[in-house]
Structure 1
């Protein structure tokens, strides 16, 4: 007899749930650091949305995850070499290159890793394609992967789809993600919503809290 299939929104399981923050780096989030968007001032939609909504929501997710024993991981776009020779062909063509020595490549302080939280550099848009995260998540015993970060229609999208394809139950926290325009954000959620449970910060934080204290 086969076991019934799980629901995408089934309750999180203690010691089997991880929160992954995607690309919350200074270069993308601090005005003036991204050379491709030098014309974006502090009042650009993306900077306002990440500053006023996404980062505060991620801080709430981090606080509840850490208090409840949820595994916390972070990924950043970062080459393994100073000249970027190891990065993907797509990143060479774009071009995207953040050397390991660049402070701009680090997570913004508000949502930076603490303690022994895992920080994973990647050299492609898809973390499952250019890192050992699948191996790590399975070693950690993870079943539920909760995703938040930037950009909704690029690296978040690939994380959700690839995670689902590899057998994880993926949750995307919609109000803890952002894209350069609200239309791109909404269209992305609509496009990849079939691969995950799309939820919000309040709901996910409550689920983290329901898991109880530290491991």
Structure 2
């Protein structure tokens, strides 16, 4: 892809190409959002009803992207950031209480967003390939935005971070919400296209088009690595 011209919405048709971005290592952090065991867990398809199998099949492309694209690409970025002593930060959805009584309203509604993930349960843990190392910061949230739902803004500011590189799931939900919050707090935000995933490719690409150029710059991991010399 070409980050300067791709993912343009109607608002930015004909707009000039953005300037090159300088991402100083000491002012930059990689933020990996909500890549947790719960999103890898799947039932045995043969045990499901016909209706449940249809929903299962709709989610298969997401799971394939998660395992074959998002996780390996993000693991590579983490390794490169770590080898250059660039901050790596992790966010996860997890409740401090067993019954999740402190969850935000959006995480209590029936259906997809009814997220009860007690902090010590296997489901709430970050997937092993992307697990935090050493003293890397992990923020726990019960909101979509990692900034709104934690003290992340304070932590980033105290570390002198001005640029946040975002990866994770879901592109159109927690990633997007976090990106918008970061932008509103005047952080310079990069979203790495091939380190994110949504429930469908259509949702993934449409959300990137919506947030690109106003809340962030969207680019591939190859473009990011070339830009930063990683």
Task: Name the CA distance, whole Å, in 2 between partners of 1:183 and 1:8.
Answer: 28
Aligned partner of 2:133 in structure 1 is: 114
Root-mean-square deviation (Å): 2.2
Instruction: Report how far residue 14 of structure 1 moved.
Output: 2.4
Whether the aligned pair in 1 keeps the contact of 2:29 and 2:161 (CA below 8 Å) is yes
Bigger mean CA offset, 173-182 vs 87-96: 87-96
Whether the aligned pair in 2 keeps the contact of 1:8 and 1:197 (CA below 8 Å) is no
Q: Give the TM-score, by structure 2 length.
A: 0.82
Q: Give the TM-score, by structure 1 length.
A: 0.87
Query: Structure 1 segments of 4 or more deviating over 6 A?
Result: none
1:128 aligned counterpart, secondary structure? coil
Whether the aligned pair in 1 keeps the contact of 2:34 and 2:169 (CA below 8 Å) is yes
Would you say how many aligned residue pairs link Structure 1 and Structure 2? 202
Say which of 61, 80, 84 aligns to 2:96.
80
Instruction: Report how far residue 11 of structure 1 moved.
Output: 1.1
- Give a deviation string over 1:153-190, Cα, whole Å, max 9, x none: 00010111110110100000011100111100000000
Whether the aligned pair in 2 keeps the contact of 1:42 and 1:48 (CA below 8 Å) is no
Say which of 67, 75, 80 aligns to 1:51.
67
| Distance change in 2, residues 1:125/1:144 (3 Å) | same
- Give a deviation string over 1:34-70, Cα, whole Å, max 9, x none: xx99952698000001111111110111111001111
Task: Name the CA distance, whole Å, in 2 between partners of 1:12 and 1:56.
Answer: 23
Whether the aligned pair in 1 keeps the contact of 2:59 and 2:200 (CA below 8 Å) is no
Gaps of 5+ in 1: 1-6, 211-215
2:30 counterpart of 1:14: no
